[in-house]
Each structure stands twice: as structure tokens, then as C-alpha cells.
Amino acid sequence: MQNELNIMERIAEAAKSITTGVDATDIEHWVTIYIMGKGYQVPADLTILTAIEFAGYRFIRGCGCRQGFCGACTTIYRKKGEYRLQTAMACQSRVEDGMYLVQIPFVPAEKASYDVGKENFAASVFLKYYPEIAKCVSCNTCTKACPQDLQVMDYIQAAIRGDFEAVAEASFDCIQCGLCAMRCPAEIVQYHIAQLGRRMYGRYGSPIPEHLKKRLAEIEEGKFSKELDVITSASRKELEKLYAERVREAN
């Protein structure tokens, strides 16, 4: 039974057949990539992540959703013949011939502890927890490092002048991969500032949806109390039955 296999063995199984149904001899296009300095031949149409697994590595850190959303598979690489160090998410970028790469599974940045409910809705909240943002020199290195193409410098500047809405909007797609913080000469941790900005904006800045307000009022008034009582007092068997017989679109 599947549950008896050790979790690591299951991952190893899953990582094996990435080019399912295709034999190595059938692959026409190969490229050479260098993982931490060691060279490997990999099929040209793989992502960095799957290419590293093809080369025989097993990810136990630095790999998550494989869909470009969790920010775990941060990669720094250099293309052949170029001097620039570039950034990417390994699960979203294809390999290129001569790619020289390394994974950064973790960024040890410090996050401040705060309670948004107790803070002033003003620029001073950023300066209180992250005074280093006043050291920003507008060099734009963070923007250049961002694998999501976000305007990072712009939202840090917006934070310095207390424009919470701009911080929230510009940083919305941030996956907290940490590359901006790693390269910043002023030692700012941009994504933590963005998170504080979004939380503050959500609490104090953005309008409260009317339908949510209405629904909350209905719940307080007890409109759904009867149905909630039915479910909370049901047994496990009754719940399983309710779940199995629930109305679904596919039915």
C-alpha cells in the first residue's frame, strides 16, 4: 500500500520518470549545465528544477509548489560568456546551454514582530520596525533581481513616504523568494516591508466589502445558527455521509 512506503522513497519514485515514456536515446537536444560548478548533460526542454533532478539530485529543501508561487526554488545563475549574475525561479525557467547555477533555498532575514491592530497608519510604522529603509539609495538592484518582474524599488520608495496603497499594489505578486534582500547594498529586506505594507493597507486602507459586512451581521444575528448546530453536533459517520452526498457541479 502506498502509505507504507517511506516518504523519501515516494519522492525518489516521483522524481525518477520526468521524461515519462521517453527513452534517453530519443532525446535530440541536449544542453550542458553546471550545478555548483559540476557539469551535466540534460535534455534542453527541462526547467532548471527538473534538470537538476534529471542530473540525479533530490530536492529536500528549495523546492515547493513547482508552480512558480511559493518562492522556494530561488536560483542564481550566469549564462555562458556573460558576466552578469541573474536570478530565476527554478521551476519556471528553462535550462540554457552553459548555464552556471546555484540554489538558494533559504534567506535568513529577520522579520519584525508586530500587531497591525496597534500601529499608526503612517510611514513611521515602516521606520519603526525597519529603519534601514531610510538607507535606500534608489540603486534599483532589487528590481533587477526580482524574478517576478516587480517594481521593488518603487514600493520601497512608496513605503518611505507612507503610500500604503502603492506598496500593496506593487508587491502583490511577491513570492518572498528573498533575492532582493540578498543583493541590496543598503541591507533592506524588501519583502518583509511589503508584507507589513499589505497588512497595514488591508487593515486600515482598503475598503471593507459590503457583502462581507452584511454576512458577518447575519451570522451575529443567528441566521445560520440552526444549520451550524446540525453540523457541529453530527457524528463522524453522519459527516462522512453528508460529505459523500454533497451536491457537486459534476453530478
User: Where do we find the cell 522513497?
Assistant: 9
From residue 171 to residue 190, the character string flagging contacts with other proteins as x (rule: CB under 8 A) and all else as - is: --------------x-----
CB of 65 to other proteins, least distance (A): 30
Q: Cα–Cα–Cα angle for 84, 87, 88, nearest 5°? A: 140
> Which of helix, strand or coil describes residue 34?
strand
How far is 40 from 50, CA to CA, in rounded Å?
13
Alpha helix locations (H) across 122-163?
Answer: 124-129, 141-145, 152-160
The smaller minimum CB distance to other proteins, of residues 96 and 132, is found at 132
How far is 27 from 29, CA to CA, in rounded Å?
6
How far is 3 from 121, CA to CA, in rounded Å?
50
CB of 122 to other proteins, least distance (A): 7
Among 92, 123, 183, 195, binds other proteins (CB under 8 A): 123
206 is a site residue for other proteins (CB under 8 A)? no
111 is a site residue for other proteins (CB under 8 A)? no
How far is 46 from 174, CA to CA, in rounded Å?
24
140 is a site residue for other proteins (CB under 8 A)? yes
120 is a site residue for other proteins (CB under 8 A)? yes
Among 127, 182, 183, 195, binds other proteins (CB under 8 A): 127
Q: What share of the chain is helix, strand, coil (3-state, %, to 5)?
A: 45, 10, 45
The smaller minimum CB distance to other proteins, of residues 81 and 131, is found at 131
The smaller minimum CB distance to other proteins, of residues 19 and 143, is found at 143
The type of residue at 101 is L
92 is a site residue for other proteins (CB under 8 A)? no
Range 116-146 burial, b when 16+ CB lie within 10 A, else e: eeebeeebebbeebbeebeebeeeebbbebb
From residue 143 to residue 172, the character string flagging contacts with other proteins as x (rule: CB under 8 A) and all else as - is: xx--------xx--x--xxxx---------
The smaller minimum CB distance to other proteins, of residues 54 and 126, is found at 126
CB of 71 to other proteins, least distance (A): 23
Among 58, 61, 135, 213, binds other proteins (CB under 8 A): 135
CB of 138 to other proteins, least distance (A): 4
For the beta sheet containing 30-35, the strands, ordered from the edge strand earlier in sequence to the opposite edge, are 38-43, 30-35, 99-103, 74-78, 86-89
- List residues near other proteins by CB under 8 A: 120, 122-124, 127-128, 131-132, 134-140, 143-144, 153-154, 157, 160-163, 185
